Amino acid sequence: MLQSIDARTHEPFGQALPESGADDVNRAVEAAAAASDAWAASPAAARAALLRGLADALEGQREALVPLADRETGLGPVRLNGELDRTAFQLRGFADQVDAGAPYTCTDDPAVAGAPPAGRPRLTRVRVPVGPVAMFSASNFPFAFSVLGGDTASALAAGCPVVVKAHPGHPQLSRAVFELARGVAAAQGLDEGVLQMVQGAGIDVGVQLVRHPLIQAVAFTGSFRGGAALQAEANARPQPIPFYGELGSINPVIALPAALADKGAELAKTLAASIALGCGQFCTSPGVVVVQQDEASQAFVQAFAEALAAQTPHAMLTPGMRKAFDAGVARLTGHEGVKTLVAVDAAPAAVAPTPLLVQTTAERFTASHALREEVFGPAAVVVQVADADEAVRVLKAVGGSLTVTVWGAETAGDEAQRIVRAAMQVAGRVLFSGVPTGVAVTAAQHHGGPWPASTAPFTTSVGYAALDRFLRPVALQDAPAWLLERKGQAC
């Protein structure tokens, strides 16, 4: 049974919910598959109406959903109201994309008389929905990356039914949002298979879902370990399927002397607040800060340490996350050649952790994989480099990252170009001001990156290009008129 736990008192509350068994998973997937053809062939008006209806329903139930989410997560009503707003915004945003024809785009090459290569038949390139999608909810965003989050919204917009694997960290909220969504679908006369949900605390439910032969793609946001294991399951199927996993990263910040000399104290406070935001439980939380050894950079490190020590994060979302954070702290502080600048206070797992800041050299950082592993929580590593060449080596050692932030590259020059080039090679998003926490939902967004940040670096899990993950190209050669008249809408 799944039991909700009050995030502040750590006491159980509410009725325990049954976990999904193998038969439940099978029924959910079969229902999604039964609805698949009709939803794939659905017109823009139907898809947009569902997405907007879900957004309206979320907002309409705000007064009930936000307190429930707060009780299960302890994230606070301000944060959770903002997250609900974002979730409704992206649902409506995908509805707008559907209205604009994004899922139905097609490319038409008219026939040319004659033999190849100059001559050709008529070819029309369209995209078809892949079929039922398994979506794994994340713990740290109970609205925006959960039952009606971006993966669900983008898959529905693409014409794919969704089977949600709810996160066990907020089972009551997940059930409430799912029931809300079912009501919207029923009111619009849609097949209930368009959106299904399964729940379970162990790995069995998720593995069964990925292995099910009717599931045609997987969207996942979570840990590297969990995502890599599920990707292996997706690849081991008799019919391997796409696995779109966002696995987190350490999001380096390259702080060049020019920026620090100008506004180092301000940037120190901004960065400290970003690392402590949400108790560091964001996939875009900055985990590595690269500085040179000049006077302005060293003054920045001191101000940064002071600002981070003054932060007071809230408790972590689950005891498991706190245990993993404590293990990461021990790994960093116990590593040879690492100096602790801000130490974590020893405290029970139920108490909010204090931030950690350690410092090391570029040589040690690039040589040790242990220093480059993500610590999910309010922790960061300062890496001292001699010059731009060492900064580039640090970025290459990090490998794939969701983001890289470069401060001080406003003026073109060899040093700036080399660092920016390296940043673009390893990250899905490169920032030149601000901090990486906060991911805008927009057409130009890319939330992904080379392995190990994500399993599919050419795709994004945030922004309107996310629906491209669930549409497969098909070239129609000399198609009959009735098919071309559908203008990219599946038949």
pLDDT (tens digit, 9 = 90+) per residue, 329-388? 999 999 999 999 999 887 666 678 889 999 999 999 999 999 999 999 999 999 999 999
Is the sign of the CA dihedral 354, 452, 222, 461 positive or negative? positive
Q: Domain check: are 326 and 186 in the same one? A: no
d(CA 384, CA 380): 13
* CATH code of the domain containing 276: 3.40.309.10
pLDDT (tens digit, 9 = 90+) per residue, 253-279? 999 999 999 899 999 999 999 999 999
Q: Domain check: are 401 and 357 in the same one? A: yes
pTM for the complete prediction? 0.95
Is residue 339 one of the residues assigned to a domain? yes
Active site residue 179: no
Active site residue 491: no
Q: Domain check: are 347 and 280 in the same one? A: yes
* CATH code of the domain containing 159: 3.40.605.10
pLDDT (tens digit, 9 = 90+) per residue, 197-229? 999 998 999 999 999 999 999 999 999 999 999
The contacts of residue 136 (CB under 8 Å, 6+ apart) are 165, 167, 206, 218, 219, 220, 221, 222, 230
Instruction: Give the type of residue at 409.
Output: A
The residue-averaged pLDDT of 49-72 equals 98
Q: Domain check: are 78 and 145 in the same one? A: yes
Q: Domain check: are 112 and 221 in the same one? A: yes
Share of the chain above pLDDT 70, in %: 99
Q: Domain check: are 369 and 474 in the same one? A: no
Q: What is the mean pLDDT of the chain?
A: 95
Q: Domain check: are 112 and 90 in the same one? A: yes
Question: C-alpha 255: how far from its chain's center?
Answer: 25
Element at 66 (helix H, strand E): helix 62-73
Say which of 72, 83, 233, 246 is annotated catalytic.
246
Is residue 290 one of the residues assigned to a domain? yes
> Residue 73 is part of which domain span?
2-247+454-484
Say which of 279, 283, 374, 390 is annotated catalytic.
283
Q: Domain check: are 79 and 193 in the same one? A: yes
Q: Domain check: are 201 and 258 in the same one? A: no
Q: Domain check: are 292 and 401 in the same one? A: yes
Is residue 438 one of the residues assigned to a domain? no
Tell me the CA distances in angstroms from 427 to 105, 247, 373, 423, 446, one per residue in order. 28, 13, 16, 6, 10
Is residue 229 one of the residues assigned to a domain? yes
pLDDT (tens digit, 9 = 90+) per residue, 450-459? 999 999 999 9
Q: Domain check: are 258 and 217 in the same one? A: no
